[in-house]
Amino acid sequence: MDPLAAIRETFFQECEEQLAELESGLLAMESGDQDPETLNAVFRAVHSIKGGAGAFQLEALIRFAHVFETAMDEMRSGRLAATDPVLKTMLRAADVLADLVRKAHGGDDTEHPLAAGLAEELKALSGAAGADDEGGEEDWGDFEFQPMAVAMDGAPEAEGPAGFVVSFKPRADLYAKANEAALLLRELTRLGPAEVELDAHDVPPLADLDPEAAYLSWRVTMTGETDEASIREVFEFVDGDCELDVSPLGGVQSDAEGAADAGFDLSALLAQAQADAPPPIAVAPDEPMPELTPEPAPAPVSAPVVALNPTPAPAAPIAANETPAEAQAAGGPRKTEAGAGATIRVDLDRVDRLIDLVGELVINQAVLAQRVMEAGLARASAVAMGLDELEQLTREIQDSVMAIRAQPVKSVFQRMPRLVREVGAMVGKPVRLVTEGEGTEVDKTVIERLADPLTHMIRNAIDHGLESPEKRAAAGKPAEGVVKLAAFHRSGRIVIEVSDDGGGINRERVKGIAIEKGLISAEAQLSDEEIDNLIFMPGFSTAAEVSDISGRGVGMDVVRRSIQALGGRITITSRPGKGSTFTMSLPLTLAVLDGMVVSAHGQTLVAPITAIVETLQPKAEDVHSLGGHARVIAIRGGFVPLIDVGMALGYRRDPLEATQGVALLIEGEGGSRAALLVDAIQGQRQVVIKSLEANYRQVPGVAAATILGDGRVALILDIDTIVTVSRGDMRKAS
Amino acid sequence: MNQVLSQGGQNQAGGMKELISFRIGAQEFCVDIMAIREIRGWTAATALPQSPSFVKGVINLRGAVLPIVDLASRLGFESTEASDRNVIIVAQIGEQVVGLLVDAVSDILTVTDDVIQPTPDVASETAKSFIRGLIAMDGRMISLIGLDRVLPDMELEAA
């Protein structure tokens, strides 16, 4: 990859992160988050995307991001209130921005069909689309973007005040990152005439002074021809490490003037600050502040400011109150920033290679342990004890390495709010998505393969689960339906629940449809739970009319199959009038599997535990022949096919006498049951999954391979295929 | 010409090739040494269902699952009753790693391209699909085997 393409790739990777940040920030604001840091983070996200897009000349993206950013800046400066409708528009704009980014990633930097309309809405919000832009509106429909650019350029100047008051309070981090307040102030003075005023009244007595802390703050009155954006740009690199407030020169002007007259030798102090870095340390013990005595009395430095300011009293307490609050508020985001700084991007192949190697280590360790046992060494011998330690260490390494691949489910959860908005709008049901446990971690592969089933289930929940607003009103429920997405860990697996507060499953109708479609017989006596689970049957779809949203011919059976393919299970619980909950339980990783080690005709095989319902010893009177090699076994009054694994895999030609073996009752695809006959069960074990395809090819009836403690390869059964294949064989035989 | 050979050729100056020769029954064969990863003793393989008779099964090669091809059976001879005396040549074929079951490894030959004679036109299809050329050495005949068709998948692709 040439360097530019690599940078471009990094840009798009970062875009994805920014988009995620943008959406989660907006959602947090929607649910009442007032933290200015959240708004700043959201703004930064759009700003960075715009900046990067500029570097790659992605025009459509830049244009949209620019309008978006402007609207957000209005919000940041407090001119636009973060009301619900505004945030809804912003969220939709975030969706469009995401689309534009993805399009641009695919090399298609053209307009988005919704971009023009949304840009117009955003402009309306930011108030930038004033009367001067009326003429441009028709052009917008014809994807002519010239007028917009003009409007945007004009906007800040049009409403830009004659000057600004910049209040700037560095935090200790700013100095820790080797930034220099004096340089920033000097930069600011380059923008035009500026008066810089130092506020040193936070400086504690010398005895209490923390040399690494930041105590000074500045207030700069800018009177020249400049705009807020350029002022903020000066502070771009210290964003988050300082408290910065840029407000138009207006009501606060008198303050500033008063401060300027305070008789404090600001320029001298500034010169001092510029000369000696870092200021808090260098300035403090110096001459201009002889008042830094152990007495906690109000330092004369701040005293003149207080005395001479026309309105000092309100200003000071507000600043004082805000400071700890802001510092606290900033504490959270700052921590995450620090966290983000401590991560590295690693090529997935490298991680997978490491995981493979650790898998080999685990196997090797097991082999070694078995050899030592075979050699007849005592349990307490030094070798055996060393091996025990090795085993513990290996396990720990394996867990840590698996943790590298583990990711929070957030990455898939955060795609859902958009889906909910779109589907909700399409079916005309107001929906609120509540997510819980986004930080729950699971293997990356599992996450990737969760997206489709989750999408489908959420569509279903909105389309079929929630009632129409009228019905909800009639039932005394709030008009807005709630779909909840929750994730948590339970006994070594991850559980994901999708629930709605809709009407629950209409059991009468479900049963009716199942009978109508011939899925069950009309006389069948089914428990409520069994009826609920009918929706997972292939070919079942409850929607009376096939809708655009979820009735695409793929039903819940597809969801169930994809969950099963991940080694998971899905169940539903439903309460009439209260709603339904789908519960998925999935393995934390696809690299290891809980297996039942069995033997068939001298071969050691592994059956995935998730598929096994129970094991039983067949009795002669329960096994019946249906002619040929086809047999069934009676289990609690019903008959299920008895499949000889040894024969199904071609290890032997003649069936094993059923009473000589053990039957595993399994539940396969679509809930169909079968009993697998094996010679014996050796035990239950967690095994490392190894691909057969890597060096060979797919083998029917075999899902993968693993390596057991004796160092030999054992095959992992693909139960569904074995059941289907032997069903075919039976048909041929009969 | 097979890919492995041409790759090997590039790495060796002056058209010199290094080949590894081995025995199956009374016959001698050789393959390009560049395709060979290692040579190891026989360990019992786990049989694979629904596989051609020449696939002996899979073994554990330091954590990787390695299919074992009985080269004798693959070349149309009687299949090998593997024992401790047999040898597995671990070869890289494209992206895949495969173990070749042979009777014994005998020698490393350094030959120039012109020593390799074209395979005479014989009736056997098997010979045509695997044997890339013949080398006469000290009164022995050594057949040069191309590995690209050894695995069953590749056979399907070629058909």
A contact test, residue of B37, B50, B92 with most A CBs within 10 A: B50
Write the CB contacts of A446 (distance below 8 Å, at least 6 apart in sequence).
A494, A566, A586, A587, A588, A589, A590
Binning pLDDT at 50, 70 and 90, where does residue A254 land? very low
Q: Which of A202-206, A227-231, A649-653, A728-732 shows the lowest mean pLDDT across its residues? A: A728-732
More confident of the two residues A198 and B45: B45
Binning pLDDT at 50, 70 and 90, where does residue A266 land? low
The pLDDT value recorded for residue A260 is 43
> What is the helix (H) or strand (E) element at residue A321, kind and residue range?
helix A312-341
User: Could you give the 3-state DSSP secondary structure of residue B19?
Assistant: strand
Neighbours of A612 (CB within 10 A): 19
A697 contacts chain B (CB < 8 A): yes
What are the angstrom distances between the C-alpha of A505 and each of A453, A459, A479, A502, A669? Answer: 19, 15, 19, 9, 22
pLDDT tens digits, A290-342 = 444 444 444 444 434 433 444 434 434 444 444 444 444 444 344 444 445 57
Closest CA to B2 of B111, B122, B158: B158
The pLDDT value recorded for residue B92 is 92
Residue A695 is nearest to which of B45, B47, B65, comparing CB atoms?
A: B65
pLDDT tens digits, A471-480 = 888 888 888 8
More confident of the two residues A54 and A323: A54
- At position A195, the amino acid (one-letter code) is E
DSSP code, position A711: S
* Whole-number Å distance between alpha carbons of A246 and A156: 14
More confident of the two residues A313 and A543: A543
CB contact (8 A) between residue A707 and residue B60: yes
pLDDT tens digits, A370-397 = 788 778 777 678 888 888 898 889 888 8
CB contact (8 A) between residue B49 and residue A691: no
Q: Which of A68-72, A264-268, A684-688, B50-54 shows the lowest mean pLDDT across its residues? A: A264-268
Residue A551 reports pLDDT greater than 80: no
More confident of the two residues A113 and A417: A417
* Whole-number Å distance between alpha carbons of A289 and A677: 90
Neighbours of A145 (CB within 10 A): 20
A700 contacts chain B (CB < 8 A): yes
Order of all β-strands in the sheet with B104-112 = B104-112, B16-24, B27-32, B140-145, B131-137
* Chain B residues whose beta carbon lies within 8 Å of the beta carbon of residue A364: 62-63
State pTM to two decimals. Answer: 0.52
pLDDT tens digits, A97-151 = 888 888 888 877 777 777 778 788 777 877 644 434 443 333 343 443 444 433 3
* Whole-number Å distance between alpha carbons of A715 and A705: 4
Q: For residue A727, with 0-12 CB atoms within 10 Å meaning exposed, 13-18 middle and 19 or more buried, which class applies?
A: middle
Interface of chain B toward chain A, CB-CB under 8 angstroms: 43-51, 55, 57-60, 62-67, 96-98, 151-153
The pLDDT value recorded for residue A415 is 84
**SS percent in chain B: helix, strand, coil, step 5:** 20, 45, 30
DSSP code, position B46: B
How far does the CA of residue B116 sit from the closest CA of chain A (Å)? Answer: 30
What are the angstrom distances between the C-alpha of A580 and each of A369, A461, A489, B70? Answer: 49, 8, 21, 57
A contact test, residue of B37, B42, B48 with most A CBs within 10 A: B48
CB contact (8 A) between residue B65 and residue A701: no
The pLDDT value recorded for residue A671 is 62
The C-alpha angle A219, A222, A225, rounded to 5 degrees, equals 160
- At position A624, the amino acid (one-letter code) is H
Closest CA to A36 of A82, A68, A67: A82
Sign of the C-alpha dihedral, residues A670, A674, A676, A682? positive
CB contact (8 A) between residue A690 and residue B152: no
Question: How does the average pLDDT of chain A come out, rounded?
Answer: 75
Residue A678 reports pLDDT greater than 90: yes
> Which residues are paired to A431 by β-bridges?
A481
Residue B23 reports pLDDT greater than 70: yes
Residue A247 reports pLDDT greater than 70: yes
How far does the CA of residue A605 sit from the closest CA of chain B (Å)? Answer: 10
Q: Which two tokens stand for residue A346?
A: 């690693």
The pLDDT value recorded for residue A281 is 44
* Rg, C-alpha atoms of chain A: 34
* Chain B residues whose beta carbon lies within 8 Å of the beta carbon of residue A717: none
More confident of the two residues A731 and A513: A513
Q: Which two tokens stand for residue A406?
A: 């583990």
Q: Percentage of chain B surpassing pLDDT 90? A: 31
More confident of the two residues A537 and A444: A444
Q: Which two tokens stand for residue A46?
A: 């759009």
More confident of the two residues A132 and B81: B81
DSSP per residue, B64-129: EEEEEEEHHHHTTSPPP---TT-EEEEEEETTEEEEEEESEEEEEEEEEGGGPBPPP--S-HHHHH
Q: Percentage of chain A surpassing pLDDT 70? A: 78
The pLDDT value recorded for residue A486 is 93
* Whole-number Å distance between alpha carbons of B96 and B143: 23
Write the CB contacts of A102 (distance below 8 Å, at least 6 apart in sequence).
none
Write the CB contacts of B159 (distance below 8 Å, at least 6 apart in sequence).
none
Residue with tokens 């095959």: A715
DSSP code, position B12: S
A172 contacts chain B (CB < 8 A): no
Q: For residue A703, with 0-12 CB atoms within 10 Å meaning exposed, 13-18 middle and 19 or more buried, which class applies?
A: buried
Residue A52 reports pLDDT greater than 70: yes
- At position A433, the amino acid (one-letter code) is L
DSSP per residue, B123-136: S-HHHHHHEEEEEE
Binning pLDDT at 50, 70 and 90, where does residue A280 land? very low
More confident of the two residues B87 and B128: B87
* Chain B residues whose beta carbon lies within 8 Å of the beta carbon of residue A651: 47, 49
Q: What is the mean pLDDT of residues A514-542?
A: 77
* Whole-number Å distance between alpha carbons of A175 and A170: 8
A52 HSE (CA, 13 A, CB side): 21
User: Could you give the 3-state DSSP secondary structure of residue A137?
Assistant: helix
Closest CA to A593 of A671, A707, A441: A707
CB contact (8 A) between residue B50 and residue A650: yes
CB contact (8 A) between residue B67 and residue A359: no
Q: For residue B102, with 0-12 CB atoms within 10 Å meaning exposed, 13-18 middle and 19 or more buried, which class applies?
A: buried
How far does the CA of residue B113 sit from the closest CA of chain A (Å)? Answer: 30
Q: What is the mean pLDDT of residues B26-54?
A: 90
pLDDT tens digits, B89-143 = 999 988 889 999 999 999 898 988 888 888 887 767 777 788 888 898 888 889 9
Question: How does the average pLDDT of chain B come out, rounded?
Answer: 82
Binning pLDDT at 50, 70 and 90, where does residue A677 land? very high
Residue with tokens 């339904």: A580
ipTM: 0.82
Residue A43 reports pLDDT greater than 70: yes
Closest CA to A494 of A459, A447, A460, A533: A447
How far does the CA of residue A363 sit from the closest CA of chain B (Å)? Answer: 7
The pLDDT value recorded for residue A88 is 82
The pLDDT value recorded for residue A729 is 52
pLDDT tens digits, A563-577 = 877 877 788 888 888
Q: Are A181 and A170 within 8 A, CB to CB?
A: yes
How far does the CA of residue B91 sit from the closest CA of chain A (Å)? Answer: 11
What are the angstrom distances between the C-alpha of A193 and each of A93, A136, A294, A421, A473? Answer: 38, 36, 38, 49, 62
A573 contacts chain B (CB < 8 A): no
* Whole-number Å distance between alpha carbons of A543 and A552: 11
> Which residues are paired to A684 by β-bridges?
A596
The four Cα atoms A9, A14, A20, A23 give a dihedral, to 10 degrees, of: -110
Q: Where are the alpha helices (DSSP H) in A227-311?
A: 228-234, 253-260, 266-275, 279-283, 302-308
Residue B46 is nearest to which of A364, A603, A695, comparing CB atoms?
A: A603
Q: Are A124 and A84 within 8 A, CB to CB?
A: no
Write the CB contacts of A655 (distance below 8 Å, at least 6 apart in sequence).
A629, A631, A644, A647, A677
Binning pLDDT at 50, 70 and 90, where does residue A268 land? low
Closest CA to A253 of A303, A195, A198: A195
User: Could you give the 3-state DSSP secondary structure of residue A483?
Assistant: strand
* Chain B residues whose beta carbon lies within 8 Å of the beta carbon of residue A604: 46
